[in-house]
Amino acid sequence: MKKLFVLSALLCAGVLFSASAKEKADYKYEYQEAAISYRNVQVYKVLDHKDAYIVMYAKGHRDVGSVTVPKKWYSAAKNPDAKLNFRALPKGMNPYMTVISRDGSFERVILTVPTSRASAIWGIASHEIKVDDADKDSLEIKY
């Protein structure tokens, strides 16, 4: 008797579940590409210049690339529209740079580095080095 009751309860549950389930044709699966994308690269050194930051980063598996990030992009007032933001490096992680793009064009860069300028990641660029692209509006980085 108990077996018959359990069997009929399972049968009723199955009928109710299948009646309430939507048909597979009701679901539309469409691939939609995101408008925003990002790339993270490991940072080896950040050189502080009077007009810009010179960032040396991992390019590929064994090459080193460098990019100039103008200081005018940074806003100390926590402006969400600033093109340059700094993030404190969490303990146990290597410094990295995040380049964010919207629809394939540069939007902003985030440097996740130690906050202490005494860290080995920070350095000072010679004032004799001329930085030609300190007034640029976009960042082109080669990975």
> Which band of pLDDT confidence, cut at 50, 70 and 90, is reported for residue 21?
low
Predicted pLDDT at 16:
64
Mean pLDDT of 93-122: 94
Distance (Å, rounded) from C-alpha 143 to C-alpha 136? 20
Predicted pLDDT at 80:
74
Predicted pLDDT at 34:
86
Q: Model confidence over 41-99: pLDDT tens digits?
A: 999 999 999 989 999 999 988 899 999 999 999 987 777 789 999 999 999 999 999 99
- What is the greatest pairwise CA distance in the chain? 94
Predicted pLDDT at 127:
83
Predicted pLDDT at 29:
72
What predicted TM-score, i.e. pTM, was given to this entire model? Answer: 0.73
Tokens of 16: 């109710």
Nearest alpha-carbon partner for 74 in 122, 113, 111: 111
Using a pLDDT cut of 70, give the percent of the chain over it.
83
